[in-house]
Amino acid sequence: MCMFLSLVLSSPIIIVSLVGFNKMKGGRILLLLVCSTVITLGVFAAGPPTCPADLGGKCSGSGEWEGEFFPGIPKIKYEGPSSKNPLAFKWYNAEEEILGKKMKDWMRFSIAFWHTFRGTGGDPFGAPTKYWPWEDGTNSLAMAKRRMRANFEFLEKIGVDRWCFHDRDIAPDGETLEESNRNLDEVVALAKELQGTKIRPLWGTAQLFMHPRYMHGGATSSEVGVYAYAAAQVKKAMEVTHYLGGENYVFWGGREGYQSLLNTDMERELDHLGRFCEAAVAYKKKIGFNGTLLIEPKPQEPTKHQYDWDAATTANFLRKYGLIGEFKLNIECNHATLSGHSCHHELETARINGLLGNIDANTGDPQIGWDTDQFMTDISEATLVMLSVIRNGGLAPGGFNFDAKLRRESTDVEDIFLAHISGMDTLARGLRSAVKLIEDGSLAELVRKRYQSFDTEIGAQVEAGKGDFETLEKLAMKWGEPKVPSAKQELAEMIFQSAL
């Protein structure tokens, strides 16, 4: 008989049926098969192991993790391009000075808590694939604190002193707003202790897209109760970001948009969003938070149309509601491609409008039409990104946040390090290539020559706003048909490729 049977099968009907059938011919064989199946199901239903010992860490009786979260993985160091060590930087040398700044100050790298410690590998077609050794399958406060400790061990080993978070990523949602706030306070107190004096958030934000209450958005919801709840959640998230010494605060409106204009008052929703941002500015000043407020453009997903579609759309929104000077933009490269632009285009649009504040360093797959949040590994793309950063004079108080996740098929703890090393090295190599382009000067000279006709007296008048149509008409008649020179596009691409 199966001794495990009575522990698993809770239905007396099933037990009676099996016992009765056991008297029949073949009953014992069937019962053995059922017992084997039940045991197998019990194993799978148990979920991921709570405290496996194979990686050197374990849980104490109190639930506290003992030992390292990443045993066997040393602090990652720079070894140079010739190194074959996968757990070493080949291009990112934090203390190396480039164009008057240390590389770490150009980059200001940050780790995204949600992808790194809450990412499961799940997608719309499959269950989670990642069960980190320290996870116990719950979203309890104890588990939240354990993740936070893992976060800071990772930061120390990867050599990064900034991190980013959503409020509900780091602490569990409660039954009430008051309970949610208490949960957040408890986890934030631990984070403050673990940060010490050298680590701080690059930015914090509120998660206003996952809970069902936000199905129509937060600041653009048709329900004023949801608008109020969103405001309360942002208020609290801004307070804890300030308490932790955060340098920025981000607004990502994943559901601030619409699915259909037939049932949407777009003008009213945009006005509500503008008022929400105004209130955020007022509260930031009230609590003495000196960090930068950032809006992160994205065209769609999960909504059909998101109000902050791209950098240009968001800049226009800020101008309309008098928020220029109060907000900057957090440009995410994968969002740029979803909006039909390159990341370089979005960065330059933000930069020339004085709005480039931060970069979410990731990329998408041109064969996939959604936000895949992959680590950037394309040297050409990284070089263009760094050209914009250099032209901007850097990103401080912003930086590069790795809003990127492991692929579904990457399931080893070591993969977390490998992915970030690759992303950091790619951007560092992009910085080096951008510097080569600038110091060579050939590309800048090509661009200067292309526009040299505007360096003349009449060109200067046009650029100064003094080129009236009557004067220009007379010149056009005098000069005749203009000669249009080659743009030298192929030469520009050759120069660019030679720097990589």
- Residues with a catalytic annotation lie at 166
Instruction: Count other Cβ atoms within 10 Å, centred on residue 48.
Output: 13
b/e map of 346-380 (b: 16 or more CB within 10 Å)?
bbbbbbebebbbbbbbbbbeeeeeebbbbbbeebe
What angle in degrees, to the nearest 10, is found between the helix axes of 224-243 and 177-195?
20
**Torsion angle of alpha carbons 5, 7, 11, 12, nearest 10°?**
70
Query: Amino acid letter at 210?
Result: M
- Angle between helices 141-158 and 177-195 in degrees, nearest 10: 30
Give the other-Cβ count within 10 Å of 188's Cβ.
22
Exposure on the CB side of residue 326, measured as CA atoms within 13 A: 19
Inter-residue contact 279 to 285 (CB < 8 Å) = no
Q: What is the dihedral of CA 407, 411, 417, 421, to 10 degrees?
A: -30
Q: Give CA–CA dist 167/211, Å, rounded.
A: 13
DSSP string, 82-129: T---TTEESS--TT-EETTEEHHHHH-EEEEHHHHHH----BTTB---
| Residue at token pair 């070089």 | 383
**97 membership: H or E segment, kind and range:** strand 97-98
Give the containing element (helix H, strand E) for 250. strand 248-251
Burial of 388 (C-beta count, 10 Å sphere; 0-12/13-18/19+): buried
Residue type, 99: L
Q: Distance between CA 318 and CA 329 in Å, rounded?
A: 10
Please name which of 262, 175, 268, 188 lies closest in space to residue 221, comparing C-alpha atoms.
268
Q: Which two tokens stand for residue 281?
A: 């500015």
Which residues pair with residue 305 across a beta bridge? 258
Q: What does the alpha-carbon distance between residue 71 and residue 258 come to, in Å, rounded to a whole number?
A: 47
**Helix residue ranges, H only, 288-358:** 311-320, 333-338, 343-352
